[in-house]
Structure 1
Amino acid sequence: MLTKSGKRYIITIFILILLQVLLLFVSSGKINILRFWIFLVVNLVYVIFSTILLYRINPELINQRGEIKRDAKLWDQFLMRAHNIVLIFILPIVIGLDVGRFQWSYLNYYYLIPGYLLFIFSDILVNWAMIVNTHFEATVRIQRDREHKVITSGPYKLVRHPGYLAAVVYFISLPMILGSIYGFIPSIMGIIIFIIRTGLEDKTLLNELEGYSEYSKKVKYRLMPGIW
């Protein structure tokens, strides 16, 4: 059953999506950009589907992700604020200005195919991670109140932070979907944030979570299989 925090989490996601797309249109100065409308529809469909899926399989996680955790790491609170600023504000404004007002660059509609393939891969990966990992909260902390344990199933057999890998892929997909080469600038900013977050969270888990050191020896890669 959804708690007040769970409902707040779902509402917040929809508000952020609408705000992101609104900034795309406002910064572009146009409302007839088909790519932006497709992006809005796809995002809404995805969020509805993933919310229903997670509610049926792991509703407690929705509630937990909506709660404010006072023991969350301060560095992670800073990184998540930076991420939200990049994703919700900087990225749509840069892309809107590029595609609509100034047309500094152009990616033709062929890029929609690889863009949405990456988008779908990212969505599948992050949902898979949330389904198997009941500790997939919004901020980094050792969840002693929830008997925090190491998750080794699903995508966690491949990399130690599959949710962050999904975020990296998502950032790569957005400029292709929305048609802006300049969009890769804020996308790279977002990717750097998640690389830093991966390193800091991994260090935290190694130092503070029982069993994580042994797990890290079995699954060697933090973020990118074969690379890091």
Structure 2
Amino acid sequence: MKIALQLLGSTAGSVLFFGVLLFWPAGTFDYWQAWAFIAVFVVSTMGPTVHLAVRHPDAFQRRLRSGPMAETRAVQKLINIGILVAVVAVSVVSALDHRFGWSAVPTPVVIGGDVLVAAGIVLAYLVIAQNNYAAATITVEAGQELVSTGLYGVVRHPMYVGALIMTAGTPPALGSYWGLVVVVPSVLVFVARILDEEKAMRDELAGYDDYMEQVHYRLVPGVW
């Protein structure tokens, strides 16, 4: 019952969060791209979240502990605020774009954006399935083991790859090209988070230095 209520609360919170961020600045509920985005977000997160709650309840509970105040590192508190601001900015700029008609985004591009949003979310949950210690905060748990196979054998931060794919897909999914401008500083915030996270992992997680020698790239093979 507790898990069911947590799932319901998480879903309702997401709908309310994006509802306010999108329909208020858009100035209307007649915004089918926003409705489609929220539906894609809820459907894409619901299945993996239920699976996580049932099969890996400890990982599910770790994912619930999120936000700036849940971070133990001072710099990550600031970075987490930056990520939240980036999410808000991408959503609000895209909604304002719809309101004032700055962009003319064809329906196939909107659908492509929704596909990216769904793909990014699913990828992030696949990462959690491979590494149950992948939390929403930067922390090393007691008994945590280094994961270096699967997606972690391709890049060092596959969860952030999923987050960035979703972020890049959000503006076109919402019918906006101008929202993509805000994605650029969002990437820089994630870069800052990654660099500090790696510092923490090297200090606290046994074998991470060797893992960095084994897997050279953080987000994009052959690039960075």
Cα separation, 1, equivalents of 2:173 and 2:220: 23
Equivalent residue for 2:102, pick from 101, 104, 125: 104
Could you say which residue in structure 1 is the equivalent of 2:92?
93
Residue pairs, 1:125-136, within 5 angstroms: 125-136=123-134
Cα separation, 2, equivalents of 1:8 and 1:201: 28
Conserved in 1, the CA contact under 8 Å of 2:44 and 2:122?
Answer: no
Q: Tell me which amino acid in the other structure corresponds to 1:208.
A: E
Conserved in 1, the CA contact under 8 Å of 2:18 and 2:38?
Answer: no
Structure 1 stretches of 4+ moved >4 Å: 6-10, 68-71
Classify 1:172/1:199 alpha carbon distance in 2 versus 1 (closer, same or farther; 3 Å). same
Please state if 1:28 is matched with 2:30. no
Cα separation, 1, equivalents of 2:74 and 2:195: 15
Report the 3-state secondary structure (helix = DSSP H, G, I; strand = E; otherwise coil) of the residue aligned with 2:178: coil
Please state if 1:208 is matched with 2:204. yes
Count of matched residue positions in the alignment of Structure 1 and Structure 2: 222
Cα separation, 2, equivalents of 1:39 and 1:67: 24
Give the Å deviation of 1:131: 0.7
Could you say which residue in structure 1 is the equivalent of 2:185?
189
Structure 1: give runs of 5+ residues left out of the alignment.
Answer: none
Could you say which residue in structure 2 is the equivalent of 1:79?
79
Return the TM-score normalized by structure 2.
0.89
| Identity across the alignment (%) | 25
CA RMSD of aligned residues (A): 2.3
Cα separation, 2, equivalents of 1:82 and 1:9: 26
Classify 1:49/1:224 alpha carbon distance in 2 versus 1 (closer, same or farther; 3 Å). same
Give the Å deviation of 1:2: 5.6
Structure 2: give runs of 5+ residues left out of the alignment.
Answer: none
Could you say which residue in structure 2 is the equivalent of 1:62?
60
Conserved in 1, the CA contact under 8 Å of 2:37 and 2:114?
Answer: no
Please state if 1:198 is matched with 2:197. no
Classify 1:71/1:112 alpha carbon distance in 2 versus 1 (closer, same or farther; 3 Å). closer
Please state if 1:223 is matched with 2:219. yes
